[in-house]
Structure 1
Amino acid sequence: MKKSDFHFELPVELIAQAPLAERSASRLLVLPPAPAPLADRGIRDLPDLLQPGDLLVFNDTRVLPARLYGRKTSGGRVEILVERVLGANEARVQLGASKPSRPGTAIQLDAGGEAEVLGREGEFYRLRFTPPPEHADESLEKLLLRAGRLPLPPYITREAEAADAERYQTVFAREVGAVAAPTAGLHFDPPLLDALRARGVEFGHVTLHVGAGTFQPMRVDSVHEHRMHSEWLNVGAELVEQVRRARARGGRVIAVGTTVVRALESAMRDGELLPYAGETTIFIFPGYRLRSIDALLTNFHLPESTLLMLVSAFAGRERVLEAYRHAVAQKYRFFSYGDAMLLFPPA
């Protein structure tokens, strides 16, 4: 299986560069099991598409303003994208610089203070941050909250604006630690959540802190040779009990986003969902049988991406690519600020 098996042609004008005026105004492409036809709906139709007793599972991670800028003592400009905060003052980061940075390299931060390169870990660097004297007790997380910039995805070609600070977070974001939003959750606003509650749909939450590696392209042609980046997750005992109760009453477990799928599948043990907190490098592609969910709400993903492969593992590659061709023809909006799909597994 090759990454080219998951290619599709996407006109650049369909890549959403900004959110709609209202979160729940997005379109929704429904993929029932074949041979039932695709259906063009809207996100606000979700209460009609779901059933009383269904359980929607959200990712409650919160995006850090994880981008910083500075200058090496040698003079070169540097862009720092924090991938993972490691304790109070160290982090794993991506560095955008004209030349590779050696251990011991000092970076003077535009926000004040300094970062020292400790070493390299694959595509990432490890940095130690020292706050400026006027913020002597400031942790790295507080530095980011004070002076960091929101790291919009690379396919959004404009700079982050003030409105993105709110719109690139879900309304239920609470656990700080991600550098990218769980974008399927961006479609939900309080009126839609109220309508779903009135329908009898329940809500549960997991946490998976989306890392900067999510934007890295697959660099090998063979799908079987790819190795996923590590991300931290927590599937709590309360969510596990919610899933058990939903199944017992005949309800369906519906993941809101691929990050929820990765979290739930990482917490499966011998066919049973159990509480789990820790790292995951799980890579889901066709041939993998998903056992934790009954339906998936997700945005449209990049060609040849691991997320498109995950969706294909759930609903079938040909079926998914058929849906993507339909979405392009019908001018759906793609990627983080784009429209969504509701997928069901083959009958």
Structure 2
Amino acid sequence: MDPKQLQIKDFTYALPENRIAAYPLASRDASKLLVYEQGNITEDVYHHIAGYLPEGALLLLNDTRVVEARLLFQKPTGGSIEIFCLSPHARYADVTTAMLQKNRVWWNCLIGGASKWKRGAVLEKKIVTGTGDIILKALLAERLPDSFTVEMQWEPGDLSFADILHHAGVMPLPPYIKREADENDRERYQTIYARQEGSVAAPTAGLHFTNDIFQSLRDKHIAHDFVTLHVGAGTFKPVKAERMEDHAMHTEFIDVRYETIEKLLQNTGKVFCVGTTSLRTVESLYWMGVKVKQHEGIDVDSLAITQWEVYEILSAYTVPADESLLALLGWMKRRHMNRLLTQTQILIAPGYPFKIISGLITNFHQPQSTLLLLVAALIGEQWKAVYRYALENNFRFLSYGDGCLLFTGAKETPS
């Protein structure tokens, strides 16, 4: 199957608005859990998820942290302008570097009310904090094809841009949640293990995980580790093209430790990803190793995975998962790298050959989305049966909704 020729109309379903969860449940792990394996569907709650995972498995989670990316400015004339901070300017090597900038930063943004903001006009915002006032200024620096570059400057200049967002920003709830973010969202639209600041959307599969769940995983000798993929607003970008060959996949920053890749190598055949972002990161690592196998002198920029090269170039090479990961580790070791900081644009759709993962824990996704394509790549046409069951059995959908555990193959009998 050629993913380029897929028609997005074949990956849709009717999602009533009242099935979209507007608020999280009181308890994270009380969310419903659908378990799919080899055509069989069962139902439980997240609190019991360890019972459905094989002993000795490795869980990979995304530890990115959502930043308060919405900045609201009031014009002197009374009009309001919203700046949605999408991603750092290309002058910064990675998200963390950009977040640590002091006094001034350049950011790629969406702008609500852009027509009211004249080039050269400076927006100013006074932020009152318990330790003193902050003055934040914004200047429209450049118009891009689908966004803007905004230069922001602030006093006191010893604060980082991450500090500024914490003081001045608003949590960016997804567009399908039709309400304003409240104080509760500052906690609940983050995973309990969120550490690396840089996302404008939560890796929502992890929102269900609690300390009790992690203890139950340890009791069953199920290990876990973290990768970082900073989720961009492109995750909500609808597929407007009829065929996937005309859709541009978003690019996202990934950050993975050497020790984490070693764990993947030690656990090939029993790796489960929590969320589509973790899955995209792990599978991208495999293809990066394939690139290294073909060209040991490859630089880190060329290591990044583009949208179609898996299908058009890299799939021609037959490389076992352990050999690929070993090659990537060797490449990092020769360069004295303890972390791999790069980007991926990988599009996982039906026809994709999974190389590392054994299963996925994920929420229920929007119709005609690249996330639904990923689910269809994992379990084939059975995605329709899974989503039909969820709709008929009162599962809650999207970011604050319930979720599922999807297996790619056989597993041990639940305990």
Q: How does the TM-score come out when normalised to structure 1?
A: 0.92
Query: Is residue 2:378 matched to residue 1:314?
Result: yes
Measure how far apart 1:140 and its partner are: 2.3
Equivalence for 1:114:
137
> What residue is the counterpart of 1:260 in the other structure?
278
- Whether the aligned pair in 2 keeps the contact of 1:24 and 1:187 (CA below 8 Å) is yes
- Return 61-70 or 96-105, whichever deviates more: 96-105
The CA distance in 2 between the partners of 1:163 and 1:22, in whole Å, is 13
Q: What is the deviation of 1:158? A: 1.5
In the other structure, the counterpart of 1:163 is 184
User: Structure 2 vs 1, CA of residues 49 and 69 (structure 1 numbering), >3 Å: closer, same or farther?
Assistant: same
Higher mean C-alpha deviation, range 305-314 or range 267-276 = 267-276
Cα distance in structure 2, aligned partners of 1:175 and 1:98: 30
Q: Secondary structure at the match of 1:239?
A: helix
- Output the CA distance in 2 between the equivalents of 1:296 and 1:105: 48
CA distance in 2, matches of 1:141, 1:95: 19
Q: Give the CA deviation at 1:171.
A: 0.9
- Name the structure where helix makes up a greater proportion of residues: 2
Residue equivalent to 2:111: 95
Matching of residue 172 in structure 1 with residue 193 in structure 2: yes
- Equivalent-residue separation in structure 1 for 2:138 and 2:343 (angstroms): 26
The Cα RMSD (Å) is: 1.8
Percent identity for Structure 1 against Structure 2? 40
Cα 1:120–1:265 change in 2 (3 A) is farther
Residue type of the alignment partner of 1:131? W
- Unaligned runs of 5+ residues in structure 2 are 1-5, 90-97, 128-134, 291-318, 330-339, 411-415
Partners of 1:190 and 1:136 lie apart in 2 by 38
Q: For structure 1, which runs of at least 5 residues remain unmatched after alignment? A: none
> What do residues 254-297 of structure 1 show as CA deviations (whole Å, max 9, x unaligned)?
00000001111221122423364211111111111121211000
Question: Which amino acid in the other structure matches residue 166 of structure 1?
Answer: E
Residue 341 of structure 1 aligns to a residue in which SS?
A: strand
1:294 is paired with a residue whose SS is: strand
The letter for the 1-side match of 2:206 is: G
**Residue 109 of structure 1 aligns to which amino acid in structure 2?**
K
Does structure 1 residue 202 correspond to structure 2 residue 223?
A: yes
Runs of 4+ that moved beyond 6 A: none
Between 93-102 and 230-239, the greater mean CA deviation after superposition: 93-102
Count of residues in correspondence between the two structures? 339
Name the structure 2 match of 1:187: 208
Q: Specify which of 29, 32, 43 is matched with residue 27 of structure 1.
A: 32
Q: Which residue of 1 aligns with 2:304?
A: none
Tell me the equivalent position of 1:10: 15
What is the alpha-carbon distance in structure 1 between the residues aligned to residue 52 and residue 373 of structure 2? 25
* In 2: Cα distance, 1:101 partner to 1:3 partner: 36
Are 1:81 and 2:145 counterparts? no
Give the letter for the 1:67 counterpart.
R
Give the superposition deviation at 1:14. 0.8
Verify the 8 A CA contact 1:64 1:179 in the aligned structure 2.
yes
C-alpha deviations, 1:280-327, integer Å up to 9, x for none?
Answer: 1111111111212110000000000011111111111x2012110111
Letter of the structure 1 residue corresponding to residue 223 of structure 2: E
User: TM-score, structure 2 length as denominator?
Assistant: 0.78
- Tell whether the 8 Å contact from 2:358 to 2:409 is kept in structure 1 after alignment: no
Quote the offset at 1:32 in angstroms: 0.4
How far off its partner does 1:139 sit?
A: 3.2
Displacement of 1:235: 2.2
What amino acid is the match of 1:277? L
Which sits farther off after the overlay, 77-86 or 94-103?
94-103
Aligned equivalents of 1:74, 1:157: Cα separation in 2: 28
In the alignment, the residues of structure 2 paired with residue 153 and residue 211 of structure 1 have an alpha-carbon distance, to the nearest angstrom, of 11
User: Which residue of the partner structure matches residue 301 of structure 2?
Assistant: none
Contact 1:59/1:259, CA 8 A, preserved across alignment: yes
**1:71 Cα offset (Å):** 3.6
Q: 1:60 aligns with which of 54, 60, 63?
A: 63
Where does residue 69 of structure 1 map in the other structure?
72
Contact 1:20 1:26 in 2 (8 A): yes
User: Structure 1 residue 339 and structure 2 residue 402: aligned?
Assistant: yes
3-state DSSP class of the match of 1:99?
helix
8 Å contact from structure 1 (residues 333, 339) kept in 2: yes
Cα distance, 1:153 vs structure 2: 0.8
